[in-house]
Amino acid sequence: MEQKINIHETAFVTASFRAADSDLSRDNFAHLWANEVTDRHASKYMQSVSLYEGVAHCLRNRYFLDTLQRLIDIGQIDTLINFGCGFSMYPFHLPPTLLYIEIDTPDVVAYKKERTESWQGEGILPVRDLRYVEADFNSPSLEDLYLAVHPLVQDRKCFILLEGVLFFLGQQDTVRLFELFTRLQGKDTYMGSVSFTPELEKMEVFQKLIEFVEGNLEKNQQFNYQTIPHNFYRTLQQYELEDHQDTLSLAGRYISGHDIRTEEVLVENMYLLRKK
């Protein structure tokens, strides 16, 4: 019987997805995380849930990479805070002038720090100003996380990135997290967030996802499934919604003449918000 994987180990799977089509994802370093086991998990995931999942993850990475670069080019960002960073590789595709703050569970942070520092030492990865912060997004209080991050970002133009996280959190965890964001960010700074909508829950592909998660992921007692309506982002008092894309709209932008069966796509929604 194949061993189940922990939630944090999905970071390896998403890296495998990005590595499988680096022309689309524009992640030329994702292959560093891939190995036979993670590639097997990624293949099993696509076969069980949706054959388009690899493409969807590549599109998400490409959208945020392009968005970040555009905002950097016009002087709107000098710091990227990646909440739930997993094994994403944005810092190594973006300018060395930025401060990059990588936040995730202790095991992910420890392993990512060790591997990236090793690859930088070997000249495989370019050197970047990286800070690593351990966090538990399910914690009833995020004050320790605020105290760890705030001194690093005072008076800086921060972009907060939140992808691949909200599905695994509960509603109250999400409220606490967004309250933390408002404390960390100043006026006219940006946030990128990713989530599923409740409408997706009615589709067979979403039910396949739930079955896969329940059957193949180890879950802690605080595990929750969460979908978030568009209105959540539209009505945030401290933020203004500047852009909203989903997997299908990005496919139209980045994949010429694509022939995607929409009913088989686990559609993610990408939101770009500006702090008021």
Task: Please write the tens of the pLDDT for every residue from 176-219.
Answer: 999 999 999 999 999 999 999 999 999 999 999 999 888 876 65
Q: How many Å apart are CA 243 and CA 250, to the nearest integer?
A: 12
- Locate 257 and state its tokens: 């003449």
Task: Compute φ and ψ for 81, nearest 5 degrees.
Answer: -105, 115
Number of Cβ atoms within 10 Å of the Cβ of 242? 12
Closest among 136, 167, 162, 141 to 81, alpha carbons compared: 162
Number of Cβ atoms within 10 Å of the Cβ of 99? 18
Q: How many Å apart are CA 80 and CA 143, to the nearest integer?
A: 20
- Locate 216 and state its tokens: 């193949």
Distances from the Cα of 160 to the Cα of 23, 62, 65, angstroms: 25, 16, 13
Q: How many Å apart are CA 57 and CA 184, to the nearest integer?
A: 27
Is residue 45 predicted with pLDDT exceeding 50?
yes
- Locate 81 and state its tokens: 């805070």
Q: How many Å apart are CA 61 and CA 22, to the nearest integer?
A: 10
Amino acid, single-letter form, for residue 212: F
Is residue 222 predicted with pLDDT exceeding 50?
no
Domain ranges of the chain: 5-275
Instruction: Evaluate whether 43 touches 257 at the Cβ level (below 8 Å).
Output: no
Average pLDDT, the chain: 93
User: What average pLDDT does this structure show over 6-18?
Assistant: 82
Q: Could you give the 3-state DSSP secondary structure of residue 270?
A: strand
Q: Is 118 left (phi over 0), alpha (psi -120 to 50) or beta?
A: alpha
Give the residue carrying structure tokens 């089509």. 21
For the structural domain made of 5-275, what CATH number should be given? 3.40.50.150
Q: What is the pLDDT of residues 65-100, one digit of tens each?
A: 999 999 999 999 999 999 999 999 999 999 999 999
Is residue 4 predicted with pLDDT exceeding 80?
no
